[in-house]
Amino acid sequence: MHRTYHGSCHCGVVRFEADIDLAAGTNKCNCTLCTKTRNWNALLEPSALRVLAGDEALTDYQWGPKFGHYLFCRHCGVHPFNRGFHEDAGGHYVVVQLAALDDLDPADLAVAPVRYANGREGNWAHPPMETRHR
């Protein structure tokens, strides 16, 4: 069941709301960027995210194949969400960082299913051999 969550960056300049169904699953990846940022996210249709404030404070970082826009607040450095386009992800997508949600109950997060992607090897559809540390 979808629920509207509210999120922000650390300094509060960037604020957003997103319609997320945690029971549909969450994602963790082992690519170099996701590993370094401890990325745990929910993949959404772009219409499920609404930026309420601070869009102008977002800075774009791209790397590798450059299909994703890894956005972060230029004031505090927090990555609240990403945007991109990739055929394997169903076209245009938004990825919300679950740690940026201000009203997410930790108990709800603890029972949310997690999918693991082997981004380090470009094998997004299959989990890496080791996931215990994620």
The model's pLDDT over 36-69, given as tens digits with 9 standing for 90+, comes to 999 999 999 999 999 999 999 999 999 888 889 9
Domain 3-118 has CATH 1.10.3720.10: no
- Domain residue limits, the chain: 3-118
For the cut 80, the answer to whether the pLDDT of residue 133 exceeds it is: no
The model's pLDDT over 82-131, given as tens digits with 9 standing for 90+, comes to 999 988 778 999 999 999 999 999 999 999 999 998 888 888 788 888 87
For the cut 70, the answer to whether the pLDDT of residue 22 exceeds it is: yes
31 contacts 127 by C-beta, under 8 angstroms: no
15 contacts 54 by C-beta, under 8 angstroms: yes
When pLDDT is averaged across residues 17-40 and rounded to a whole number, the result is 94
Q: Which pLDDT does position 126 carry in this prediction?
A: 82
Confidence at 134, pLDDT banded by 50, 70, 90: low
Q: Which residue has the higher pLDDT, 1 or 129?
A: 1
pTM of the model: 0.91
**Over the range 64-75, which residues count as b (16 or more CB within 10 Å of their CB) and which as e?**
eeeebbbbbbee
> DSSP string covering 28-92, please?
EE-SHHHHHHT-EEEEE-GGGEEEEE-GGGEEEE--TT--EEEEEETTT----EEEEEEGGGTEE
Label the pairing between strands 40-44 and 49-53.
Answer: unpaired
